[in-house]
Amino acid sequence: MKKLIYSHGESSGIGPDLVIKLCKTNYWAKLKYPLIIVGDPKLFIDRANLLKKNISIISIQSINEAQPNKKNTLQILFNGKCKNTNPGRLYKSNVKYILDVLNTSINICIKNKDCALVTGPLSKENIIKIDSQFTGHTEHIQRLTKSKNVLMLLGSEKLKLAFITTHIPLQKVSNAINEDAVFSKTKILDIELKKKFKIKNPRIGILGLNPHAGENGKIGSEEINKIAPAIKKLKSQKINITGPISADTAFTVSNRKKYDAFVAMYHDQALPVLKAISFGSGYNITLGVSIIRTSVDHGVALDIAGKDGLDYGSLQSAINLAQKII
């Protein structure tokens, strides 16, 4: 039986809250595949009590014990103790537990191809306290799966965005962009749009780095020296790509209908557009790796963790996509 594995992310954030609230809905029992939470049952009991949500916990020792989802019930694969279950602030004492949950969840999916990973939001700030090399889910999954390359894609029903660079300082973006990076990551996008999203001939728009896509070299040379050569190479491999497109006009309604996905040069070049039009219903997916991994499109939201009223729509989108792909 195929299964969904949930890594809740930052224990002090809304990762636990999301599944607690979602399991109270009719949607939960209608999931095609069982969802298994990796973590400490006590964290979910304490959080449910704080949220005043009556739920049942089923502790399992193996993913093979998983049963179809039942409303108001969470299935939890025990994976260590969360030292501080209080929400709302970051605790260094919880970081090892958080990383262990993530690593166990990834390894389950590496060993079991009938499993898909869905992740809650992490706090990079917290994890860096014990792992200075950590830059995010995407790169961590690449490392554990020993994948040659990786691509972050965020999307919704309205827009799909892939990124050449992800969580790096803006001053380092230009140096991180080169012909090989643009070519290899865009090729991953083309392959995965066909494989995972069933788009036969993806239409891809690629953004320039500079304002107005460089104005033919007058406002920067990255488009001419790095992006255009990659586009030429991609076109030679019959990839349907257009660009470099100026980012300020890329996401008009007509362009969003014209292209199946866009490639941005850096994280905040395009992501604000997606969140402006689809916040609460978007998803994150890691492409180019050997496992299926989807995620929410938002952060840990410490300010509302442990409080009622949060929106679980993005988690639903991530679960729906994982089910569809698997």
At 285 the pLDDT is 97
Q: How confident is the model at residue 309 (pLDDT cuts 50, 70, 90)?
A: confident
The separation between the first and the last C-alpha atoms of the chain, rounded to the nearest angstrom, is: 11
At 171 the pLDDT is 96
Report the Cα 142 to chain-centroid distance in Å: 13
Residue 278 pLDDT exceeds 90: no
Edge-first strand order for the sheet with 35-39 is 56-60, 73-78, 35-39, 3-7, 115-119, 293-295, 283-287, 151-155, 160-163, 261-264, 204-207, 241-245
Residue 280 pLDDT exceeds 90: no
Beta bridge partners of 264: 163
- What are the pLDDT digits (tens) for 130-188? 888 888 899 999 999 999 999 999 999 999 999 999 988 999 999 999 999 999 999 99
- What are the pLDDT digits (tens) for 210-228? 999 989 999 999 999 999 9
Q: Is the peptide bond before 272 cis (omega within 30 degrees of 0)?
A: no
CB 151 within 8 A of CB 185: yes
At 159 the pLDDT is 95
CB 96 within 8 A of CB 130: yes
Contact residues for 208 (Cβ-Cβ < 8 A; gap 6+): 214, 222, 223, 227, 243, 244, 245, 246, 247, 265
**How far apart are the C-alpha atoms of 154 and 282, rounded to whole Å?**
7
- The residue written with tokens 């191809």 in the block is 113
| Mean pLDDT, residues 296-318 | 93
**How far apart are the C-alpha atoms of 286 and 109, rounded to whole Å?**
13
Backbone conformation region of residue 280, classed left if phi is above 0, alpha if psi is from -120 to 50, else beta: left
**How far apart are the C-alpha atoms of 288 and 151, rounded to whole Å?**
6
CB 306 within 8 A of CB 87: yes
Closest CA to 94 of 77, 108, 80: 80
> How large a percentage of the chain has pLDDT more than 70?
100
Two tokens at 83? 């030292």
Closest CA to 87 of 49, 58, 118, 115: 49
Q: b/e map of 133-153 (b: 16 or more CB within 10 Å)?
A: ebebbbbbbbebbebeebbbb
At 135 the pLDDT is 85
Asked if the domains at 1-147+289-326 and 149-280 fall in one CATH topology, the answer is yes
CB 213 within 8 A of CB 244: yes
- What are the pLDDT digits (tens) for 221-268? 999 999 999 999 999 999 999 999 999 999 999 999 999 999 999 999
Closest CA to 189 of 217, 210, 161, 168: 161
User: For residue 3, how many other CB atoms are within 10 A of its CB?
Assistant: 19
At 243 the pLDDT is 96
> What would be the CATH architecture of the domain defined by 1-147+289-326?
3-Layer(aba) Sandwich (3.40)
Two tokens at 128? 């860096």
Domain ranges of the chain: 1-147+289-326, 149-280
Report the Cα 37 to chain-centroid distance in Å: 17
At 204 the pLDDT is 98
Residue 306 pLDDT exceeds 90: yes
At 202 the pLDDT is 98
Residue 308 pLDDT exceeds 90: no
Cα torsion through 121, 127, 132, 135, rounded to 10? 0
Rg (the chain; Cα; Å):
20
Report the Cα 14 to chain-centroid distance in Å: 15
| Mean pLDDT, residues 13-31 | 97
- Tell me the average pLDDT of the chain: 96
At 133 the pLDDT is 82
- What are the pLDDT digits (tens) for 103-122? 999 999 999 999 999 999 99
3-state secondary structure of 137: helix
> What would be the CATH architecture of the domain defined by 149-280?
3-Layer(aba) Sandwich (3.40)
